[in-house]
Amino acid sequence: MEGGETTLSEFGGGGGAGAGVDTKVLHAFQTSFVQVQSLLDQNRVLINEINQNHESKVPGNLSRNVGLIRELNNNIRRVVDLYADLSSLFAASDGGGRAASEGGSVGTVRQAGAGHKRIRSGLD
């Protein structure tokens, strides 16, 4: 493992039977974080290409930036969705079931059938 990475067993307090965290939940967290990291890596590449195209001021490169920026925005939207799903999963697993007034996390919540719209918990 590289510096700063956490394994599933570390995340679950040792990963033993008494750790209190369902291994399916941990697997879902790991899978989602791998997807997020992949998207963030793609975004880094996109941003570098967008910057190079912008600095070149070549009309074709500047036109290409339109599509690259759309792709970047879509990736960001997917990262937000993944984090919202993780937040819901964490809350449903009772790992984050504490209310905000008790020190629990306050994040975005999905509205059923609302697509990409979010409601914030009164922090806007």
The dihedral through the CA atoms of 27, 28, 33, 39 has a sign that is: positive
Query: pTM of the predicted model, to two decimals?
Result: 0.61
Distance CA 52, CA 55 (A): 5
Q: Which amino acid, residue 73?
A: N
pLDDT, tens digit (0-9, with 9 covering 90-100), for 5-32:
444 444 444 444 445 568 888 899 999 9
- DSSP, collapsed to helix, strand or coil, labels residue 110 as strand
pLDDT, tens digit (0-9, with 9 covering 90-100), for 55-83:
999 999 999 999 999 999 999 999 999 99
